[in-house]
Amino acid sequence: MDSRSAVVGASLDEVKEADVDALAKAFGERIYFVAQVQRWGPFDNEVFVARQGEDILGTVTLGPIEEKELRESEPFSKHPSRLLSHLEVPPPQRGRGIGTWIMAEMESRLAARDFRYVVLGVDESNEGAQRLYRKLGYQAWAGSPLRTVKRSFHESCTWGDEPEYCLVYYKDLSPA
Ligand SMILES: CC(C)(COP(=O)(O)OP(=O)(O)OC[C@H]1O[C@@H](n2cnc3c(N)ncnc32)[C@H](O)[C@@H]1OP(=O)(O)O)[C@@H](O)C(=O)NCCC(=O)NCCS
């Protein structure tokens, strides 16, 4: 399939409360989306939803680099940098170029806002996603694997963090 046809007429907007049901249906993890739109906790995240008509094509989150070790290391300590996380395309829609399109959109929006680096963490076992990021020009951060946290949200409007290790990839958004 022509990969561009998968995203013809698609939109990529910040998630609103009214989107939560559709997102929960597409991805599960309802509580994650509720927590983000209701802005629980000290987070400064932006959660996006990709749609094509009534169909959900994907989601992605942008936020600050929470891990001190990463935030304070070069090159991220010297230049505005944003963490990209929770990239997901619903299983029936995968392999059609949608993940590639979401990443390209996020990169150009971040560059337009003068962010220099986009940074992300990926599970060591997630070879498919790593292939996607390498193909898009991401490079492995030398300090990988990084000890980070897997955050779970609870109905009581609280959250808990569990330690997790991930590989860090990043991309310089400045024009070559
Ligand atoms: C990773 C993900 C977002 C990619 O979305 P997508 O729409 O399928 O991506 P694309 O169609 O643009 O594929 C681009 C490339 O991704 C790579 N890729 C991604 N997932 C893959 C998988 N499961 N198996 C093989 N290759 C994969 C391939 O290199 C592919 O390029 P190719 O088709 O030319 O070989 C999607 O597979 C997904 O939602 N996975 C589950 C959640 C996840 O792992 N998110 C990443 C967290 S770091």
**66-109 per-position pLDDT tens digit:** 999 999 999 999 999 999 999 999 999 999 999 999 999 999 99
* Number of neighbours of residue 127 by Cβ within 10 angstroms: 10
Pick the residue whose CA is nearest to atom 9 on ligand 1: 99
Number of domains in the chain: 1
Query: Domain range holding 160?
Result: 3-172
* Core vs surface per residue 17-31: b (16+ CB within 10 A) or e: eebbebbeebbebeb
* 66 three-state secondary structure: coil
Given a cut of 60, is residue 4 above it in pLDDT? yes
Pick the residue whose CA is nearest to atom 14 on ligand 1: 132
pLDDT of residue 3: 58
Joined tokens for residue 96:
């059609």
Number of H-type helices and E-type strands within the chain: 5, 8
Give all strands (DSSP E) within the chain, no chain letters.
Answer: 11-14, 46-52, 55-63, 81-88, 117-122, 139-140, 146-153, 159-172
Burial class (CB in 10 A: 0-12, 13-18, 19+), 172: middle
Rounded distance between C-alpha atoms, residue 28 and residue 47, angstroms = 15
User: Any bridge partners for residue 56, and if so which?
Assistant: 51
Binding pocket residue ranges, ligand 1, CB within 6 Å? 87-89, 94-100, 122, 126, 128-129, 131-132, 135
pLDDT of residue 42: 67
* 3 three-state secondary structure: helix
Looking up residue 143, the CATH number of its domain turns out to be: 3.40.630.30
Joined tokens for residue 155:
């109905």
Given a cut of 60, is residue 173 above it in pLDDT? yes
Which of these ranges, 7-16, 42-51, 124-133, has the smallest mean pLDDT? 42-51
Ligand 1 centroid – CA 145 distance (Å): 21
pLDDT tens track for 120-164: 999 999 999 999 999 999 999 999 999 988 888 998 888 899 999
Ligand 1 centroid – CA 132 distance (Å): 6
Q: Identify the CA nearest to 84 among candidates 106, 108, 57, 53.
A: 106
Q: What 8-state DSSP symbol labels residue 13?
A: E
Joined tokens for residue 48:
């996006």
| pLDDT top residue among 109 and 39 | 109
